[in-house]
Amino acid sequence: MKENYRSGFATLIGRPNVGKSTLMNHLIGQKIAITSNKPQTTRNRIQTVLTTGEGQIVFVDTPGIHKAKNKLGEYMVNIAERSLNEVDVVLWLVEPTTFIGAGERHIIEQLGKVKTPVILVINKIDMVKKEEVLPAIDAYRKAYEFAEIVPVSARSGENTDELVKVILKYLPYGPKFYDEDTVTDQPERQIVAEMIREKALHCLNEEIPHGIAVAIDRMKKERRVMHIDATIICEKDSHKGIIIGKQGSMLKKIGSTARYEIERMLECKVNLKLWVKVQKNWRDSDYLMKNFGYRKEE
């Protein structure tokens, strides 16, 4: 092990839909966190690992910091805020704009309570003219004292190599936490459930954005084929009809797009069977939230 090898933890925070999962997937080089153009897609902390010759960064992806509306919302906010104190460096993703709204002010307030160095990552620089990035940097610099400010494009990968170098600067010297070939500590079942939920979010209309969860009922490999039975849980009978679709067409679409991704990840054939079940107000039930994998961390 090199004397000057660094390893540590970095957390990604930011308002919902700012591109945290896209950035993490790009840095790791494969899909771990689900991405969707609907906000609040990520519900659990996802640990992914990036190992380079200079160091190892363990990324903890958190749900977006926002004002909570129900028990699921409270759970997501608590995890996001707690993780700020438990890591070596905080990456705050924002969009390239000079407008610092109430949501950003709320995050600045939370950051004021922690001692961890904060790197401001201005994402989506591919969406604006180059000369619009500097005023955005300036506006944020006046609002908070950042350790560093790095503009990137998570989608195209522009300047992400520079971001990795900057993150490593703030990690302590020490040996690796994980083997070189580890990319995530998420159990396979959980990643499969998240992939199905992502495909459901992509296929469905706006009316059912967050009111769905996915439970894996069975996952068993038999003769080189992975058999997966999963249930999509929604909050209303009307939602169940939309998820199933006319003569089951929507459920088939969700199933076939999810199966393709799962086969790529597991590198084997997958036989995926999906069901839909209504659990009214599951997002306000501690018991049901535990059932769907949203456990409060002690």
Tens digit of each residue's pLDDT, the chain (298 residues) = 566 899 998 988 887 678 887 887 788 765 454 444 444 444 445 567 888 888 888 887 655 565 666 776 676 667 666 778 888 999 999 999 888 988 888 888 878 878 899 999 999 998 888 888 999 999 999 999 999 999 999 888 899 999 999 999 999 998 888 777 666 655 677 778 888 888 888 888 665 656 788 888 888 888 889 898 988 888 888 888 889 989 999 999 999 999 988 888 777 899 999 999 888 777 776 666 665 666 544 3
Same domain, 266 and 218: yes
Same domain, 135 and 23: yes
pTM: 0.59
- What pLDDT, on a 0 to 100 scale, did the predictor assign at position 89? 94
Beta bridge partners of 94: 122
Q: How many angstroms separate the first and last alpha carbons of the chain?
A: 34
The full 3-state SS of the chain, as one line of letters, equals CCCCCEEEEEEEEECCCCCHHHHHHHHHCCCCCCCCCCCCCCCCCEEEEEECCCEEEEEEECCCCCCCCCHHHHHHHHHHHHHCCCCCEEEEEECCCCCCCHHHHHHHHHHCCCCCCEEEEECCHHHCCHHHHHHHHHHHHHHCCCCEEEECCCCCCCCHHHHHHHHHHCCCECCCCCCCCCCECCCHHHHHHHHHHHHHHHHCCCCCCCCCEEEEEEEEEECCEEEEEEEEEECCHHHHHHHHCHHHHHHHHHHHHHHHHHHHHHCCEEEEEEEEEECCCHHHCHHHHHHCCCCCCC
Please give the Cα distance from 260 to 269 (Å, whole number).
9
Asked, for residue 50, whether it belongs to a domain, the answer is yes
Q: From 140, 169, 198, give the residue that closes a domain.
A: 169
- What pLDDT, on a 0 to 100 scale, did the predictor assign at position 139? 94
Closest CA to 186 of 46, 3, 26: 46
Locate 70 and state its tokens.
């129900």
Asked, for residue 216, whether it belongs to a domain, the answer is yes
Locate 84 and state its tokens.
């700020």
Same domain, 99 and 243: no
Number of domains the chain is built from: 2
Asked, for residue 176, whether it belongs to a domain, the answer is no
Asked, for residue 259, whether it belongs to a domain, the answer is yes
Same domain, 199 and 251: yes
Tell me the Ramachandran region of residue 13: left when phi exceeds 0, alpha when psi lies from -120 to 50, beta otherwise. Answer: beta
Same domain, 118 and 27: yes
Domain of residue 209: give its range.
188-291
CATH code assigned at 84 = 3.40.50.300
